[in-house]
Structure 1
Amino acid sequence: MKIVVATHNEGKLPEIRNIIEAELGQAAQHIELVSAGSMNLPDPVETGVTFEQNALLKARDVARRTGLPALADDSGLIVDVLGAAPGILSARWSGVHGDDEANIDLLLAQIADIPDDKRGARFNCAAALVVPKHCGEERANGTTPKAEETVKLGEMRGVVIREPRGENGFGYDPIFVPDNQPGRRNANGEKLTSAEMTAEEKNAISHRHKAFVALAPEIKELIG
């Protein structure tokens, strides 16, 4: 079964594929993941005001355009002292979408006076699965049944430090130290930022991993 992942970032596919294989075992061989980018699908405008709404918006758009089951996720950083911010605006916090350095600089400036023990934060992720009904499955009154939709959430808690560390990852990874740490520290004996972890270490504890693990049973149902 082909499932379209609503992303133009090909790097997401191996991570999601690994989760599905780990959770579904041999059944995962019946699933083929392809990206929306590889199918030349446009990115929908994210007009939702929550991670859940944006994940569903993206998955619905892909499912509607392709007639295939679609996966999507939306995630961001929530800093406790900033309420829900940056939240859904994480990727464009500085005003320019995807400018990681500018986003980090602005965030650090905004909480510069906050003491270390008050800099708690969390990454949240919403993962959505939308399964369109077949065109032939119409009700007696001629209407088409709505697509089946499922959303699952994942969270990774930690703290925001004062200076970036690490070269891996993306976004706010260099200034975020997860509470859940691997069994090692950096060369200075400090807890690791997400950007100092290997991809495997980060994926094992990440908000995205948790959300897609929770979604795995719904994916399994697609193949019986």
Structure 2
Amino acid sequence: MKLIVATHNEGKLVEIRRILEEDLGEDAAKVELVSAGSLKLPDPVETGTTFQENALLKARDVAARTGCPAIADDSGLIVDVMGNAPGILSARWAGAHGHDLANNALLLAQIEDIPDSKRTGKFRCVAALVVPAGFLGEGSPASETVEIGDMPGVVIRKARGEHGFGYDPIFVPDEQPEGHTSDDPDHFGEPLTSAEMTPKEKNAISHRGKAIKALVPAIEALLK
């Protein structure tokens, strides 16, 4: 079965493939993952006002263009004291899309006076699987499955770590890898930021990993 991932980021394909291999076992070989980017599909304009709306918008667009089941996700950082901002605007919080340093600097400035105990938040990912009408046989209806994954934690005051992207350097997840703490001289032995974790450690607890993993039963049902 060909499964289209609504992304131009090939790294996301690797992560999803790993999840399918872990959860589907031998059946994972029955799924051919293809990115929208490799098919040269355009990025739809994300006009939704929630993570769910944007995830569904992207998955529906790819499913309609290809006639194949499609997965899409939308994610961002939610800071409790900011009324759930930056939210869907996370990637462009400072104005320019994907300007990580500017986004981090603005967010830290906005909550500079907030005490450490109140700097809680979470990364949230909403993942959607859309199966187009007719895929399961003539007359079969379209179907949609939506799952949510959260990675709760706290926003710290100064960035640390070289891995990851976005707000990873200023976010310490509640879940931590066993036996691995910060090597930063000023924070030695403290919990890791997302950017101090290895990719494997982060993927094991990440919001995206949880949301995609929750879609596996729906993907497994398509194989049957």
Normalising by the smaller structure, the TM-score range is over 0.9
2:166 equivalent in structure 1 = 171
Partner of 1:215, secondary structure, is: helix
Equivalent-residue separation in structure 2 for 1:26 and 1:174 (angstroms): 37
Which deviates more, 72-81 or 129-138?
Answer: 129-138
State the alpha-carbon separation in 2 of the partners of residues 155 and 114 from structure 1.
23
User: 1:219 & 1:100 partners in 2: Cα distance?
Assistant: 33
Specify the code of the residue in structure 1 equivalent to 2:102: A
* Residue 148 of structure 1 pairs with residue 149 of structure 2: no
1:21 equivalenced with 2:21 (yes/no): yes
CA distance in 2, matches of 1:217, 1:157: 24
What's the Cα RMSD here?
Answer: 1.1
Amino acid at match of 2:115: P
- Letter of the 1:14 partner, please give it: V
**What code does the residue aligned with 2:120 have?**
G
Counterparts of 1:198 and 1:123, CA distance in 2: 17
Question: Deviation digits for residues 96-139 of structure 1, max 9, x if unmatched?
Answer: 1010111000000000000111100101110100001228734x
- Counterparts of residues 86-165 of structure 1 (less than 5 Å): 86-134=86-134, 137-138=138-139, 146-165=141-160
Match of 2:209 in 1: 209
Q: Which amino acid aligns with 1:20?
A: L
Given candidates 176, 182, 189, the residue that maps to 1:181 is 176
For structure 2, list consecutive stretches of 5 or more residues without a partner in the other structure: none
Letter of the structure 2 residue corresponding to residue 92 of structure 1: R
Distance 2:84 2:126 in 1: 15
Give the structure 2 partner of residue 68 of structure 1: 68
Q: Across the two proteins, how many residue pairs are aligned to each other?
A: 218
Equivalent residues of 2:134, 2:141 under 8 A apart: no
Distance 2:126 2:21 in 1: 20
Counterpart Cα distance in 1 of 2:141 and 2:219: 18
Per the alignment, residue 193 of structure 1 pairs with 193
Q: Deviations over 1:12-66 (max 9, x none)?
A: 0010110111111111110010100000000000011111110000000000001
What displacement does 1:146 show? 4.8
Distance 2:82 2:20 in 1: 34
Answer whether contact 2:134 2:142 (CA < 8 A) is retained.
Answer: no
Q: CA deviation at 1:147?
A: 1.7
Shift of 1:190: 1.5
The CA distance in 1 between the partners of 2:43 and 2:98, in whole Å, is 15
Does residue 2 (structure 1) correspond to residue 9 (structure 2)? The answer is: no
The secondary structure found in structure 2 opposite 1:75 is strand
Q: Alignment partner of 1:213: what SS?
A: helix
SS, match of residue 189 in structure 2: coil
Amino acid at match of 2:70: A
Worse-superposed segment, 93-102 or 127-136: 127-136
For 1:59, the equivalent position in structure 2 comes to 59
TM-score (norm 2): 0.95
